[in-house]
Amino acid sequence: MGIFDSINIAASGMAAERLRSDVISNNIANSSTTRTAEGGAFKRSRVILAPVEGKFVWKNPFVPEQLQSGSGKGVRVMTIEKDNAEGRLVYDPTHPDAILTGDRAGYVEYPNVNIVNEMVDLIAASRAYEANTSVIQGAKEMFARALEIGR
């Protein structure tokens, strides 16, 4: 493992959590949008993350082989996908986006965004971002101490 690998791994986590925060903020901002360019109510988005596969896999000598998955090289965003769950229906026949025909006539479909869940996800993303900054700060302090040893 190189000297800057821990910083690179934490930086990939910070970038992923920043994007996750942006997507969550977009969900919250559009929580009452009943009409989009694609048609219909806004659908919440979510970020799908995956590990970055590295060539080097560090094995812990104190953990049995079958319990080790090895360490990767950070995290990457696989995709941002839409949640196609149906939104809540509210009866409001005066709304411009009210459904005009069928058994749901007079109902307006609102986005499938739950503000409480989005805020919990935003707090989790913020905490993960802070944890990655702590890793970077710890690595910087460790490098500084290693340089002091050489004096």
State what percent of residues in the chain have pLDDT above 90. Answer: 62
Decide if 143 contacts 149 (C-beta within 8 A).
no
- Of 77, 71, 67, the closest CA to residue 9 belongs to 71
Query: So what's the pLDDT on residue 31?
Result: 95
* 3-state DSSP percent of the chain in helix, strand and coil, to 5: 40, 15, 45
128-138 residue pLDDT tens:
999 999 999 99
Give the Cα separation of 147 and 92 in Å (integer): 69
pLDDT tens-digit profile of 71-113? 568 899 999 999 999 999 999 999 999 988 888 899 999 999 9
Q: What is the pLDDT of residue 110?
A: 94
| Per-residue pLDDT at 101 | 83
- Overall average pLDDT of the 1-6 stretch: 73
Between 64 and 88, whose confidence is greater?
Answer: 88
How would residue 140 be classed by pLDDT, with cut points 50, 70 and 90? very high
Of 10 and 56, more confident: 10
Contact 108, 97 (CB under 8 A): yes
CB-count burial class (<10 Å; 0-12, 13-18, 19+) for 115: exposed
Q: What is the pTM of this model?
A: 0.81
